Amino acid sequence: MKKKNILLIVLLLFALNLKAQKDFTLYNFNAVPQSIKINPSIIPDTKVCVGLPGLSSIYINYFNSAFKPFDIIRERPQDDSLRIDIDYLITKLKDDNYINFDLSTELLFIGFKLNKGFLSFGVDHSLNFRFDYAQDFIKFLWYGNEYFYNNPANFDNTNIDINHYLSYHIGYSYKLNEKISFGTRLKFLKGISNISVKKMNLSLNTVSDPQTTYAFEGDYNFRINTAGMYDNDYYKDKDYLMGQENDFDVGNYLFNKKNNGFAIDLGFSYIINEDFSVNASIIDLGSINWKSNPINYTSKKSTFYFNGIYFDENNDSTDVFEATLDTLSNLFDVNSSYENYKTNLHTKYYLSGYYNINEKNKVGLLLFGRKYRNHFEKALSLNYNLKACRNFNLTANYTIFENKFDNFGLGMSFNMGPFQSYFITDNILTAFNPLNTDRVNLRFGLNISIRNKPVKITDEDAEYENITD
C-alpha cells in the first residue's frame, strides 16, 4: 500500500464533521427574503429582491458539544497568568463528543412576486465539517497509551464528515387562498469534495509492563470514503511521497466534477384565524452521488501490535518521518479501491405556531429536529417578532438545543430606500464573552429590495372605519 494512503488514513483517524445549519432565528422572519430557504411557504415582504453577489447571505456556525476555550486556557491561582490545562479539559468531556463547523455563502439570489406567489432562484456555496470523537481519543493523545494499561481505549464513535458542494436552486411559494400557503424548492447539487467515515471500529490496549516498554495492541475495522480530492490516474501511476510537487488546479477542483445530486425543500402554512397560524417545513431531503476521483480505504476486521519506532540520534527528521510511514504501512492492512458512493444530506424538520398580538407584534413556538447517524438533534425555541416601522424589523428568541440552555437569538433588518441589510444570530451572548462560549452562530447580508408602496389612508377611509367600529 502506498505511503500517502497510510498517511491520509492516520490523519483521518487521529486529527482534531459539518452539521447543517439550524437557523432558529431566521425562521418566519419574513422581512428577510432569505427566510424562504428554511420555510418555503413564506411569501416575503418584497416585490423584487436581488442579493448582492457573495454578500447577500454569509453564514458561519460553530458548535462544540463538550468544552469552551476557557476550559483549555485557565488562570493560575497564584498569579492569574494563563496556562493550558488539558487535564481539566478532559474532565469536561463526555463519552461521546463532537465539533461542528459550517460556512455558507450565497453567490446569487433573485426573487420576485409572481401571480399569487413568490418565485426565487440562486446559487449557494456550502462547506460542512463535523468531527465526532470519544473521550478516550483525547486521553490517548494527552496521556499516551500508558494510561490504558490493561484498560482498553475505545474509539468506535470516532467519525469525520466533510462536505463541500454547490447548490443551484429554484423555488416557488404559492398562496392558495386566504388561509393556506405552500411552497417547494428544487436543488441541483454539484459536489466538490467529500470525506465520509462509513464504518469505524477501533480499540487499543497497552499490554506490556509499563516499567519496560509501552507496546500496545488493538482491533480495527473501518471504511473511509473520499471524493474530489485527488486525481486518481496520477496517484495510481506514481508512488507519491510527501514533498513531491503536485500540480493543483483550482478550476478543476471547483468545477470539473461529476458529483451530481438532487434535493427538495417543502413548506406549508395555515392561518387558523386572525390570531393563530401554523407552519411546517422539511429542508434538504436529498443526496449527492460521488463519482469524481473516489477513493475508498477499507480494512478487514483485524488485530495489530505496535511496539514503537526505532531510530537513533543520527537520523534526521526525514528519516524519522519515513520510518513512521513504513511502520504504519506494515501496521494496518488497508485496501484502496475506486468505487462511486452516495451520501445523504442531513434532513431538517421544522414545526412552528404563532400568535398575533397585533399588527406589529407576534410570539411563537418552534420545534426543530434532525437525525445525524445514530443521534437525533432536537430544539425548542420561543420567539418574538416586532415590525417596529416600515424600515426596521426585529426578532428575538430563546432556544434550548442539545441540553444547552443559554441560547438567546437576535435578528434585525434595516431598509434604506431599495437597500436592505440584516444581521441574525442564534446566540447573541457570544459577542460579550467569546472565550467562554462553545458556539458561534452568525448570518448577515445585503440585498436590493423593492417593496410595495405603503397604503395611504385618506380622511374618508378613516371616517368610514370609525363609523364601522
Q: Which residues lie across from 58 on neighbouring strands?
A: 105, 444
Task: With beta carbons less than 8 A apart as the criterion, state whether 401 and 416 touch.
Answer: no
pLDDT at 96: 86
pLDDT at 376 over 50: yes
pLDDT at 464: 42
What mean pLDDT do residues 55-71 have? 90
pLDDT at 280: 96
Q: Nine-digit cell at 303?
A: 488485530
Highest mean pLDDT among 95-99, 122-126, 367-371, 376-380: 122-126
Least confident of 123-127, 199-203, 430-434: 199-203
* Burial of residue 276, with CB atoms counted within 10 A of its CB: 0-12 exposed, 13-18 middle, 19 or more buried: middle
What percent of the chain shows pLDDT beyond 90? 45
Least confident of 105-114, 155-164, 230-239, 365-374: 230-239
pLDDT digits (tens, 9 = 90+) for 426-462: 999 888 888 788 889 999 999 999 987 765 555 555 4
Least confident of 36-40, 201-205, 287-291, 312-316: 312-316
Q: What is the DSSP string of 58-108?
A: EEEEEEESS--GGGTEEE-TTT--EEE-HHHHHHH--SEEEEEEEEEEEEE
Residue from 327, 275, 278 nearest 304 by CA? 327
Residue from 443, 445, 453 nearest 390 by CA? 453
Q: Nine-digit cell at 177?
A: 387562498
Mean pLDDT rounded to a whole number for the chain: 82
pLDDT at 357 over 90: yes
Q: What is the DSSP string of 217-272?
A: EEEEEEEEEEESSS-HHHHHHS---TT------HHHHHHS---EEEEEEEEEEEE-
Please give the backbone phi and psi of residue 399, each rounded to the nearest 5 degrees, phi first: -125, 140
Structural domains of the chain, count: 1
HEC secondary structure over 295-321: EEEEECCEEEEECCCCCCCCCCHHHHH
Q: Which residues in 359-392 are b (16+ Cβ under 10 Å) and which e?
A: eeebebebebebebeeeebebebebebebeeeee
pLDDT at 291: 92
What mean pLDDT do residues 77-98 have? 86
Q: How confident is the model at residue 160 (pLDDT cuts 50, 70, 90)?
A: confident
What mean pLDDT do residues 89-94 have? 90
Distance in angstroms (rounded) separating the CA atoms of residues 143 and 149: 11
Three-state secondary structure call for residue 136: helix
Question: What is the largest distance, in Å, between two alpha-carbon atoms of the chain?
Answer: 101
pLDDT at 239 over 50: no
Q: What angle do helix axes 3-14 and 317-331 make, rounded to 10 degrees? A: 80
Alpha carbon separation from 293 to 168, 172, 194, 198, 335 (Å, rounded): 22, 35, 11, 17, 16
Q: Which residues in 70-105 are b (16+ Cβ under 10 Å) and which e?
A: bbeeeeeeeeeeeeebeeebbeebeebbbbbbbbbb
pLDDT at 400: 92
Distance in angstroms (rounded) separating the CA atoms of residues 288 and 179: 36
Q: How confident is the model at residue 20 (pLDDT cuts 50, 70, 90)?
A: very low
pLDDT at 411 over 90: yes
Q: How confident is the model at residue 232 (pLDDT cuts 50, 70, 90)?
A: low
Q: Given the C-alpha cell 484502496, which residue does it identify?
A: 336
Q: Given the C-alpha cell 399588527, which residue does it identify?
A: 359
Least confident of 83-92, 147-156, 432-441: 147-156
Q: Identify the sign of the CA torsion 211, 212, 214, 217.
A: negative
What mean pLDDT do residues 348-357 have? 95
Higher pLDDT, 434 or 418: 418
What is the residue range of 322's domain? 3-468
CATH code of the domain in which 12 resides: 2.40.160
Q: At 314, which amino acid appears? A: N
Q: How confident is the model at residue 36 (pLDDT cuts 50, 70, 90)?
A: very high
